[in-house]
């Protein structure tokens, strides 16, 4: 019997606008609210005898929260673009705005039950509920593309069901264009920054993530690649219930990986080490990388001590030439050879034709800091490292050179997004991992110990 949860749904649910015009209207309301807030703040400052600047009027906490809230209500590409900008362009955004956008990486509003039922009716047909002994209408997770529900079929299968928000696929291109225009016109994005390549890649990536049949195929492929790694667990796809908009997998249980913060040091080190070893396998063996570093994509089975891997919508293949260039970049960092790093970075696509020597060296500075764990002999202590601050300072120095700023290729942005997420997780767990030893297994030549 289905759970009767109609009276229990959280009041924070919000219907997903499905039509193009209704989504555009949401953005219009957002723009009007920002403008109204600017007018009110300007009036207040003038009354105090101040001469306000436009930037100060725009970047108020109220406006930052207003923007994040509306993107979260839109979900889909609008919210995803906010996530991408918060991770990939965070050092180019005003700190107030970057901090609020960062909240989008974990916060989304669930759709109301009536909308959920409509989606399931469309995908499974009327009377779908007769297949289930239990179906929880309250989602256990809600993200930018869809939300996840737990259920049990009458034949005893315990399932995790990812249901895509209505209208997400058809709104991707217009959402990204509209939000980018809003951010440009508002001045929240610096005029000198060219985000066109990032927008194109965001569209391509989101169309892939919104194809749940494609994600199911990637999950199967990834599971095959990890058949020799019993320390990992992956869900099994249930093809009889999976559609383009509903992905049905075995329920995996486990606890959030960040809850291991209170586990013994050795266990935290082991878990972080497994994830970094997996990253090197993804890059150098599989050439297939799950690029979404959201902590929610990792859970832990305390009984079996296995890591549970979830969500393969952002999995992307990497060309052999890019993989080889990253190998050479890392080898150059380990050996302290900036010239070798420069050649490798050029092969990846980091330098535009008009790059100056100062800008080139600033980019290499960022790489040297980012590769600090590779260069360290022994277990790198992420919990006591100032690495994030050093990377941020180096990136800020680079961001001041906007005349020659060159947006890196999408493969680089998504790989850095994944690596950065693992750095943050390792820091949260206060883990110690010998990153250098893990990489040397894949180095193409002998490097100093």
158 φ, ψ (degrees, to nearest 5): -95, 125
Query: How many other C-beta atoms can be found within 10 angstroms of the C-beta atom of residue 162?
Result: 23
| Exposure b/e, 42-55, CB count within 10 A at least 16 = b | beeeeeeeeeeeee
240 tagged catalytic: no
Tokens of 421: 């997420």
Q: What distance in Å separates the CA atoms of residue 6 and residue 114, rounded to the nearest whole number? A: 9
Q: Tokens 């705005």 map to which residue?
A: 97
Q: Given 88, 292, 311, 365, which residue is catalytic?
A: 292
Rounded Cα distance, 302 and 257, in Å: 10
- Lookup: tokens for 299: 């859970």
Q: At what angle do helices 61-74 and 20-47 cross, to 10 degrees?
A: 170
Q: What sections of 349-405 are H helices per DSSP?
A: 357-370, 372-375, 387-399
Q: To 5 degrees, how large is the angle CA 358–CA 376–CA 426?
A: 100
* CA dist., res. 212 & res. 204, Å (int): 14
Q: Is 287 left (phi over 0), alpha (psi -120 to 50) or beta?
A: left
Q: Quick one: how many helices (H) and strands (E) in the chain?
A: 17, 13
Contact, 285 vs 271, CB < 8 A?
Answer: no
- Residues classed as catalytic: 292
């Amino acid at each position: 019997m289905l759970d009767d949860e109609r009276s229990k749904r959280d009041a924070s649910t919000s219907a997903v606008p499905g039509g193009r015009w209704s989504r555009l209207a949401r953005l219009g309301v957002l723009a009007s609210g920002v403008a109204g807030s600017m007018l009110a703040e300007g009036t207040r400052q003038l009354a105090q005898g101040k001469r306000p600047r436009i930037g100060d009027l725009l970047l108020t906490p109220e406006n930052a929260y207003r923007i994040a809230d509306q993107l979260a209500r839109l979900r889909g590409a609008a919210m995803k673009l906010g996530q991408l900008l918060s991770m990939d362009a965070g050092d180019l955004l005003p700190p107030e705005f970057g901090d609020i956008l960062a909240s989008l990486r974990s916060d989304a509003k669930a759709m109301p039950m009536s909308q959920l039922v409509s989606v399931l009716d469309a995908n499974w047909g009327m009377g779908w509920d007769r297949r289930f002994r239990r179906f929880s209408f309250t989602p256990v997770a809600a993200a930018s593309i869809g939300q996840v529900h737990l259920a049990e079929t009458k034949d005893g299968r315990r399932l995790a069901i990812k249901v895509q928000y209505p209208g997400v696929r058809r709104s991707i291109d217009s959402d990204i264009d509209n939000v980018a225009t809003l951010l440009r016109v508002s001045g929240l994005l610096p005029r000198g920054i060219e985000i066109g390549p990032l927008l194109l890649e965001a569209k391509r990536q989101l169309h892939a993530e919104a194809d749940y049949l494609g994600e199911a195929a990637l999950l199967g492929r990834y599971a095959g690649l990890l058949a020799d790694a019993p320390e990992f667990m992956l869900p099994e796809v249930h093809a009889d219930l999976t559609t383009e908009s509903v992905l049905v997998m075995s329920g995996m249980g486990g606890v959030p990986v960040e809850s291991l913060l209170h586990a013994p040091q050795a266990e935290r080190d082991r878990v972080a080490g497994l994830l970094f070893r997996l990253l090197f396998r993804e890059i150098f063996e599989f050439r297939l990388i799950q690029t979404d570093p959201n902590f929610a994509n990792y859970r832990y089975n305390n009984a079996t001590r296995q890591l549970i891997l979830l969500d393969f919508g952002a999995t992307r293949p990497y060309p052999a030439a890019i993989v080889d260039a990253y190998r050479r970049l890392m080898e150059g960092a380990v050996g302290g050879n900036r010239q070798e790093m420069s050649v490798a970075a050029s092969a990846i696509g980091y330098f535009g034709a008009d790059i100056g020597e100062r800008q080139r060296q600033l980019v290499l500075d960022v790489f040297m800091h980012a590769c600090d764990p590779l260069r360290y002999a022994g277990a790198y202590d992420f919990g006591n490292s100032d690495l994030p601050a050093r990377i941020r300072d180096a990136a800020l120095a680079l961001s001041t050179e906007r005349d020659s700023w060159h947006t890196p290729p999408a493969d680089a942005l998504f790989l850095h997004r994944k690596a950065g997420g693992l750095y943050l997780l390792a820091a949260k767990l206060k883990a110690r991992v010998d990153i250098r030893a893990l990489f040397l297994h894949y180095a193409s030549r002998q490097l100093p110990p």
